[in-house]
Structure 1
């Protein structure tokens, strides 16, 4: 059964996963048995986050006690394909400028980054299906509505996506506090994707190894790291500024 973006009941949730419907999260009962394990397996294979919940939470989400121990929350946002983003850049006759967010799990940071991305001319944002915030109500609010004007793609594997982008002629720029090159040293007058990592871990090792350039934001204070959204904003503004200077 469905209540807006909420799907509940075992068979409806199974069919929703099979059909490829965008599902943000699936909640399952802590005590449910039977084919709940099948649902969990299907969800994980599809890259959908699964959490356990008590009966009261499931009842509140489904707005009925007849949830059969499982409730799926549909995605608030219809995601685009990476190809859509590249086509958009081509339509604008601009060199592609993409943003890849590697494990940004804080929705407030995600929203703030998307807001800046829209302001600084980014053609689209790429996020992973797993270990990442999705486009939920908090992200929409934090973006001040920018999600309505920028294309966001959700991919199964960031490294595979990076390889595909390289084959299409894009250069991948990573960020790391230990990098030798300052962000000001590049001119950015080429098709690119900028990778921003999480505050706690930064860019994951494999993703960093797949970057063509690794840059840093030099700092003089005692605090040697920036909020992810602040760092992203500085870098995106610099890319836009350098590109406009080439005109």
Structure 2
């Protein structure tokens, strides 16, 4: 069952963090001052929790209550540990197929990708702690509930996940237009992980440098690229086709 994913108020957010609530993202009003707000910011940095400074108008859109300049979003799921997830998938005897999302920012794209990933048997989804779309009620709705059926992990940087996959014998394939090789030229039959980039910037260049293969989708129209959730679906179903 989905729980309330929004809490507000400086003290309430501080207590939620200290109680090990599964905080996904925190929004702090720009220019907020005071001893309590300073305590919150120090706690956020200590616990390495994703937060951003926003105008008060955004906070007012997130809640109509007296938020005191702070609104937190609690993830409606429990995140998995990457080490344990990869080990469990390998030990299960199934051929791993992971999905790495490099700072995907649109909640609806995120939810759609989760839905497709669940339908195509993806072993788990790895996202970055900072800079990506939050996991909230909209994500749950767009995923049609699939978010509760697929493991999701958070890492400090997507490169951390890339290196972990490679060390575990899992090939990492990046979806990018910066290659002549199409997805039909790449083998998805062995253990592999697919990296998808953000809507505006694509995959970080530092990530592209460390992956094993690059693959693009052929585009015949005037528009140069596909929506990221559509592109991800094409890649996942090509992987499924090859494995069947």
Fold match (TM-score > 0.5): yes
Distance 1:97 1:57, change over 3 A: closer
Per the normalisation by structure 2, the TM-score is: 0.86
1:186 is aligned to 2:186: yes
Q: How far does the alpha carbon of each residue in 1:119-148 deviate from its partner, in whole angstroms, 9 at most, with x for none?
A: 111011001111101221111111111111
Indicate the RMSD between aligned Cα atoms, in angstroms: 2.6
Aligned residues of 1:25 and 1:51 also touching (Cα < 8 A): no
Aligned residues of 2:173 and 2:214 also touching (Cα < 8 A): yes
**In structure 2, distance between residues paired with 1:215 and 1:111:** 23
Q: How far does the alpha carbon of each residue in 1:43-77 deviate from its partner, in whole angstroms, 9 at most, with x for none?
A: 255131234454995698484x4x55434332222
**In structure 1, distance between residues paired with 2:51 and 2:114:** 22
Distance 1:168 1:154, change over 3 A: same
**In structure 2, distance between residues paired with 1:226 and 1:58:** 34
Per the normalisation by structure 1, the TM-score is: 0.85
Aligned residues of 2:155 and 2:161 also touching (Cα < 8 A): yes
Structure 1, unmatched stretches of 5+, are none
SS of the equivalent of 1:172 reads strand
Which residue does the alignment assign to 2:169? 169
Aligned residues of 1:108 and 1:142 also touching (Cα < 8 A): yes
Which consecutive aligned stretches of 4+ in structure 1 deviate over 6 angstroms post-superposition?
none
Count of aligned residue pairs for this structure pair: 240
1:42 is aligned to 2:43: yes
**In structure 2, distance between residues paired with 1:53 and 1:197:** 27
Structure 2, unmatched stretches of 5+, are none
